[in-house]
């Protein structure tokens, strides 16, 4: 694995020429008082180093005579480690993580200038850690001030994202292996949830069993707060209370993914709690299912990123017209976004180290074209949100539809000759969801 981190650093260094790139680890975050959330490394930092401790800085200086990869880390300290956990320390930062040189983090201010003085620019992403942003600006300003004396030094700060995130967008075999694991575990958890869901049980019971499987199978835990939403709760897109009792005639929407080796899966299924769809639930479900399947067919190298969304929107709009929830000419309804009260989110996002992974979707007016090695979600839905007022030219919403919320989501890899659904192991056909 260290070889792959090294290759990633080399790829980045080949693109920054005489620049110096600086990466700061994620800050620790407080849960309450002096209790911290479980530490999760910044994804860019992890992608380039595999190093998972806080209070660390990584420098890539391809032009430096001696050291091209430098790590600043917390030094070994037995007393502190007894309280807050193992530290790799300065020596292992070189030995294990392959740094050409490593220093205690306390020496950052003193040592950093030597890696910047001959750089023509600093590559840095202004991030969450405001103190660290200030540190970088302070060094930059200082070097600008003394530039006339040397005639060298950085004269710009450039955001690293456009280079690094275009690398992260294309998953290597190693990354795909981890993503398949994350997907497989979530598939098992969703299949288990299908088995154990029953009227009278509570949403949190299903959440608990799903997340039990995530950890039992060696996952880090949920990739994001799990959504287990019965009935009308499914009309709240980010419903995470998960505290209601499930009723016979409701649908259950589960949006839950697993983090494994820092990579994520993201699956949604919606199915009848009592084992049988009502006619209205089934009618809406079949529209969403068709939209999802047709959108997946659009996942082909060379297609625009927007193709799956556009296809999903068309099928959803046609379906809403057939059911009498919308009326009018399909193209016009789409152009005027009349479907939006029922489908208010996008169909896809990139997936990887981040659930909503990095990488651009659009170059100005032009959407990104899909390329092999990219992974995206396909997740259309329909939500008949209580209280929705139809537009003046649209029909009233019959009460029988109100409160139904449906989403179906899979993780799809763009392959050389089409696509591969990484999460295909969870059923979504009506016949497989009814009992
Ligand atoms: N669960 C987050 C999402 O589907 O984007
Ligand atoms: Mn998603
Ligand atoms: Mn999701």
295 and 363 fall within a common domain: yes
Clarify whether residues 409 and 334 are in a common domain. Answer: yes
Same domain, 54 and 26: yes
* Cα(216) to centroid(ligand 3), Å: 21
pLDDT the model gives residue 186: 99
Each residue of 288-306: b (16+ CB within 10 Å) or e?
A: bbbbbbbbbebbbbebbbb
* Residue % of the chain over a pLDDT of 70: 100
The answer to whether 246 touches 202, Cβ cutoff 8 Å, is yes
Shared-domain flag, residues 290 and 263: yes
Pair (90, 173) in one structural domain: no
Beta pairing, strands 366-367 & 362-363: antiparallel
Q: What is the per-residue pLDDT for 110?
A: 98
238 is catalytic: yes
State which of 167, 193, 217 marks the end of a domain: 167
What percent of the chain is predicted at pLDDT more than 90?
98
Q: Is the pLDDT of residue 142 over 90?
A: yes
Q: For position 315, which CATH number holds?
A: 3.90.230.10
Instruction: State the pLDDT confidence band at 56, using cuts at 50, 70 and 90.
Output: very high
Together in a domain, 160 and 195? no
Residues 97 and 189 occupy one common structural domain: no
- pLDDT tens track for 58-92: 999 999 999 999 999 999 999 999 999 999 999 99
Residue 34 sits in a domain whose CATH number is 3.40.350.10
In whole angstroms, give the CA distance from residue 130 to residue 65: 31
The pTM score is: 0.97
Radius of gyration of the chain (CA): 25
Q: Tell me if 53 CB under 6 Å of ligand 1.
A: no
The yes-or-no answer on residue 410 being catalytic is: no
Q: Does the C-beta of 224 come closer than 6 Å to ligand 1?
A: yes
For 387, the domain range is: 169-433
CA distance 175 to 218: 16
| Cα 181 to ligand 1 centroid, rounded to whole Å | 18
Reported as type and span, the H/E element at residue 179 is helix 173-196
Q: Who surrounds ion ligand 2 at CB < 5 A?
A: 266, 377
In the predicted model, what is the mean pLDDT of residues 329-335?
Answer: 98
Indicate if 254 and 291 belong to the same structural domain. Answer: yes
Residue with CA at minimum distance from ligand 1 atom 4: 266
Q: What is the per-residue pLDDT for 49?
A: 98
- Please say if 255 is a catalytic residue: yes
Asked if residue 284 and residue 191 are part of one domain, the reply reads yes
Task: Count up the domains in the chain and report the number.
Answer: 2
- DSSP character at residue 360: -
pLDDT 10s digits, 377-412: 999 999 999 999 999 999 999 999 999 999 999 999
Give the distance (Å) from ligand 1 centre to CA of residue 211.
16
Residue 128 in this model has a pLDDT that exceeds 90? no
Substitution site in 228, 229, 255, 346 for ligand 1 pocket (most atoms within 8 Å of beta carbon): 255
pLDDT in tens, 340-384: 999 999 999 999 999 999 999 999 999 999 999 999 999 999 999
Cβ of 175 less than 6 Å from ligand 1: no
Shared domain check, 190 and 222: yes
pLDDT of residue 20: 98
Q: Which of 332, 328, 422 is nearest to 377 (CA)?
A: 422
Question: Residue 127: is its pLDDT beyond 90?
Answer: no
- Same-domain check for residues 326 and 389: yes
Report which DSSP code applies to 270: E
Ligand 1 atom 3: residue of nearest CA: 266
CA angle 179, 183, 189 (to 5 degrees): 150
Q: Where is the domain boundary, 122, 145, 167?
A: 167
Residue with tokens 């990633």: 8
User: Does 337 share its domain with 398?
Assistant: yes
Residue partners of 179: CB distance under 8 A and separation at least 6: 171, 263, 264, 265, 351, 352, 375, 411, 413, 422
pLDDT of 1 strictly over 90? no
Q: Which of 167, 193, 228 finishes a domain? A: 167
Give Cα 180 to chain centroid, integer Å.
Answer: 15
């Amino acid at each position: 694995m260290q070889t792959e981190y090294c290759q990633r650093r080399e790829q980045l260094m080949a693109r920054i020429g005489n620049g110096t790139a600086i990466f700061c680890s994620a800050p620790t975050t407080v849960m309450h008082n002096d209790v911290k959330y479980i530490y999760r490394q910044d994804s860019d930092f992890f992608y380039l180093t595999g190093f998972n401790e806080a209070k660390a800085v990584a420098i890539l200086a391809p032009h430096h005579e001696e050291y091209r990869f430098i790590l600043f880390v917390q030094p070994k300290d037995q007393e502190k480690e007894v309280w807050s956990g193992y530290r790799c320390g300065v020596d292992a930062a070189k030995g294990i993580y392959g740094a050409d040189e490593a220093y205690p983090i306390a020496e950052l201010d003193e040592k950093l200038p030597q890696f910047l003085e001959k750089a023509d620019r600093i590559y840095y992403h202004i991030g969450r850690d405001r103190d660290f942003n200030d540190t970088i600006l302070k060094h930059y300003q200082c070097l600008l001030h003394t530039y006339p004396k040397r005639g060298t030094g950085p004269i710009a700060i450039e955001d690293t994202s456009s280079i690094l995130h275009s690398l992260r967008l294309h998953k290597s075999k190693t990354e795909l292996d981890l993503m398949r694991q994350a997907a497989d575990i979530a598939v098992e958890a969703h299949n288990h949830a299908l088995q154990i869901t029953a009227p009278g049980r509570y949403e949190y019971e299903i959440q608990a069993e799903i997340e039990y499987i995530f950890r039992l199978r060696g996952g880090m835990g949920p990739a994001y707060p799990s959504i287990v939403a019965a009935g009308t709760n499914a009309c709240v897109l980010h419903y995470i209370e998960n505290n209601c009792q499930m009723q016979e005639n409701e649908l259950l929407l589960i949006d839950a993914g697993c983090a494994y080796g820092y990579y994520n899966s993201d699956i949604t299924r919606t199915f009848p709690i009592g084992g049988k769809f009502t006619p209205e639930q089934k009618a809406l479900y079949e529209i969403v299912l068709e939209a999802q399947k047709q959108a997946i067919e659009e996942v082909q190298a060379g297609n625009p990123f927007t193709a799956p969304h556009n296809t999903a929107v068309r099928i959803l709009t046609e379906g809403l017209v057939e059911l009498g929830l919308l009326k009018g000419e399909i193209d016009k309804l789409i152009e005027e976004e009349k479907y939006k009260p029922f489908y208010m989110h996008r169909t896809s996002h990139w997936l990887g180290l981040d659930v909503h992974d990095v990488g651009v979707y659009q170059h100005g007016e032009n959407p990104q074209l899909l390329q092999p090695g990219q992974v995206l979600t396909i997740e259309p839905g329909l939500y008949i949100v209580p209280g929705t007022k139809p537009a003046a030219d649209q029909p009233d919403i019959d009460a029988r539809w109100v409160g139904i919320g449906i989403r179906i989501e899979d993780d799809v890899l763009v392959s050389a000759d089409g696509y591969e659904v990484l999460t295909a192991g969870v059923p979504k056909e009506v016949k497989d969801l009814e009992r």
